[in-house]
Structure formats: C-alpha cells, structure tokens
Amino acid sequence: MDARITPEGSLEILSRAEVAQLRDTGEGGLHELWRQCSRAVLNAGTENDNIREIFRRNQDFRIEIVQQERGLELALENAPESAFVDGQMIRGIREQLFAVVRDLIYTHDEVMSSNWFDLSTSEGVTNAVFHLLRNARVFRANEKPNLVVCWGGHAISREEYDYAKAVGYQFGLRKLDVCTGCGAGAMKGPMKGAGLGHAKQRIRTGRFLGITEPTIIAVEPPNPIVNELVIMPDMEKRLEAFVRMAHAIVVFPGGVGTAEEILYILGILLSPGNESMHLPLILTGPRSSETYFRQLHEFVGATLGPDAQARYQVILADPKEVAMVIHDGLKDVQNFRAQNNDAYFFNWMLSIRYEFQQTFEATHENMAALDLHKDQPAHQLAVNLRRAFSGIVAGNVRESGVRMVEEHGPFELHGEPALIESVDRLLRDFVAQRRMHLADPSGYIPCYRILS
C-alpha cells in the first residue's frame, strides 16, 4: 500500500543535512538502516522471527523523506496493508515510524558522530545513554518508582504467555507501568495484562515502554501495545537503558537472549560498588516452567556462584505474589534513592563498569577469543558469558550473524572444561525445550560449537 504520513507534535522539521543522511544509501548512510527499522514497525504485531521470510515478504517496501515548507512527510511505497485501517495508518504505528527517525538521527548526529560524548569511558557511555533517553522524552521526573522491566523470550508456549499476561494484570491493578524489549511473547504478555489492569483502575496514562536496537527491531517488530518506543544504538546501550530506568526487574521464561539479560544484570549486581543496591529481581513462570528455572539456577550456581543466586528470587505459578513482592520492593527502592539523593527516573548510583558497556561484535574471531574460565572475578566472567550468549543470538536471528554462520560455519566457544560443559548443557536444554528459534524450533541447527 502507498501512503504519505505526517508526524504529530515533533519532528515537523529536519535540516537538509539530516534529510541527506536518511537518503544516503552509501557506506555510513542511514537509509538502509532506516528502511529496515521502519519495515519492522510497519509489521508490528507479527510473531514471525524468520528474517528471510520478513525480508522476502517486504522486499519491495520503499520509504523516503518529503521535505516541504510546512514540515516533513514520509512517503511509503508497498507498505504492509496490516498497518492501515480503512486506508488510514494506525496511529500507534505512525508514532513509532517517527520515533525511528528521531532516534536514528539523534544517535548519528549527537552521539556517534560528535565529540560531545567520550564513548571510551564508562561515564561517557552512561551520559550518552541518558541523553538518548531524554531526547526520546521517556523520563518522568516527578513520579515515584513504578516502572517494572520485564524480560523473557518471544519463543514461549501459550501457557507461559498467558502467565506473563496474568502477572502484568496484577501489575496494572497496582498501578505499575511496564517496560520490555517491545517484541512478542514474554514482552507482549505483561503489557497486555497491565493494560487491562490499568483500564480497571481507570488509568489513562499508563506506560508501555519498549526499548530495542536496530539489529533486533529489524527482525523482531514491536508489539502493538507499545506506546513509547526507543531505539538505542546497540545491545550494550540498550541493556544499560533497561537497568538505569528499572525500578524492578521480572524475568519470564525465554532462551539465549533471556539468559544474556540475566547474566548482564547479575554481573552488574556482583560488581564492586553495587553490594547495597536495591533492585528487586524475580524469575517467574507457570508451574510447567519449573524445570527451566531449575536448570537456569543450576547454571548460575555452577558459573557465577551462590552470591549470584542470592541476588534473585524464583516464584512459580503465583502472579499475585510476584506483583506483591515487586510492589513492596518498590518502597525500598524509593527509600534507598531518597536517602542517597538519587533520581527516581534514572539510576545514576548503579555502577556499570566499562567492560559491560563495550560493544561486542559477534564474529568467529571474537567468539573464539572469549575468556571462559573461572579464574576471574564473577562479574568479569558474567561479561564474557553474556557476550557468548549474545553471539549465539546473533547467529540465530540477526541478518549479519546468520549470514556469517552460513558462510564460515558455526561459532566456536573455548574454555575451562567444567565451565564450558555448563554452557553446553544449558544450551542443549534450550534446544530440547524448543527455546532457540520460533520459526521452526523442531529443525533448529546450532550456530555454535562447544570446544573444551
């Protein structure tokens, strides 16, 4: 379907240089990245994570900037009909299309291509994350802590999805807002449930914040409930955005990407300086996911140790209990932030070391070079384990990673025999439980090879 659309309330005007960047199809230009992210937004609501199928179905999609004296328009060609109702684009999709423009332009001009931020230091990266979120207008400075970050996989069972929705409903009844990675499955469920809870409480300003990054949104379209979308430049800044904004974190069942997120937050909580940090962390799912969480708990114990296991609580088959524990924990978060004169909307006190912030590119060389040995501090081991799982996510679903594995074979992971066996065992469990790929879980071919 062809259409021309205009924004509401922001981005009415772009400079000629910004328009040129979005039109630039050469190396360093933003056009192809912009096209991919826009294509994903237009496919909001799909649960297909087969990147080749998404590309094939939308290969003729085109998007261009039309700059006029009265402001800008987006000209779309061959856009999915599902993005329109009676010839008019769905309002939420239109808002997200312009959020893509906003974030890509700001990231390119003000963060990655300027001297404003020293991205070689921890402080500089955190400052960049803060400004990206502020530019997206997602800070609410005068509100008490009520934002629950929910992590979990898109490749989950119907029972697990319904459970995530039930937990979200309990959040909504307690007037809590939800932030997720904005995709399907365990990212959509809590938002959908919270929306119903908000409706019962007559809350009309509820937040359903989705935080993503370009390589993920290109293959994982946002779910239709997201009413605030932010695209961070890379996975590491996305993860930092989650934990800086979170007042609590709840993890539902998932696969390798969920394990990556768990390793990230545990590594941070184990880092020096964060021993007294108040950040409720709960792992939860229906009774049928008990084996999954037991295996994950055993993996954390075998790799990061009992101190890491003590940083979270596992609650099964009790959505109300999860919400009550979170609600009570938020009181402690508020008191802790107030006593330490820290902002409610951005956790400045949380110490995030530079190794957590360094962008990791999943290549065969980088994956093989990961230090997977236990003769290092637990928080440092968590960094390397997180990178290993991030690389497997790339090999599973990201276009560049899929192509790399097709051309050069599986990524290879080397390490201490006992440690690498724990990694292998968890990954094999994920494969057995069909948590590695949504498009065809029964025919999953590993993108990695474990070598001791």
Domain ranges of the chain: 3-91, 140-339, 354-451
| Distance, CA of 247 to CA of 344 (rounded, Å) | 8
- 138, 114, 135, 117: which is closest to 127 by C-alpha? 117
Q: CA torsion sign, 195 to 197 to 202 to 203?
A: negative
Using CA atoms, how far residue 297 sits from 69, 183, 187, 308, 371, in Å, is 59, 25, 22, 10, 22
CB atoms within 10 A of CB 53: 12
Give the tokens for residue 350: 């949380």
pLDDT of the chain along its 452 residues, tens only? 899 988 765 555 677 778 788 887 776 778 888 998 999 899 886 655 555 566 667 678 999 988 766 667 899 999 988 899 999 999 999 999 999 999 999 998 889 888 889 999 999 999 999 999 999 999 998 899 999 999 999 889 999 999 999 999 999 999 999 999 999 999 999 999 999 999 999 999 999 999 999 888 877 789 989 999 999 999 999 999 999 999 999 999 999 999 999 999 999 999 999 999 999 999 999 999 999 999 999 999 999 999 999 999 999 999 999 999 999 999 999 999 999 999 999 999 999 999 999 999 999 999 999 999 999 999 999 999 999 999 998 888 787 888 899 999 999 999 999 999 999 999 989 988 888 764 555 567 888 898 87
Using CA atoms, how far residue 308 sits from 125, 246, 278, in Å, is 25, 19, 15
Fold classified for 140-339:
Rossmann fold (3.40.50)
Q: What is the CA radius of gyration of the chain?
A: 21
The SS3 assignment for 358 reads coil
Q: Which residue has the tokens 């051309």?
A: 407
Total residues found in the chain within this entry: 452
Q: Which residues have C-beta within 8 Å of that of residue 380, sequence separation ≥ 6?
A: 267, 355
State the pTM of this model: 0.93
Using CA atoms, how far residue 25 sits from 29, 113, 419, in Å, is 5, 18, 45
Amino acid, res. 355 = E
Fold classified for 3-91:
MCP/YpsA-like (3.30.1850)
| Distance, CA of 333 to CA of 336 (rounded, Å) | 5
- Report helix angle 16-23 to 31-42, nearest 10: 80
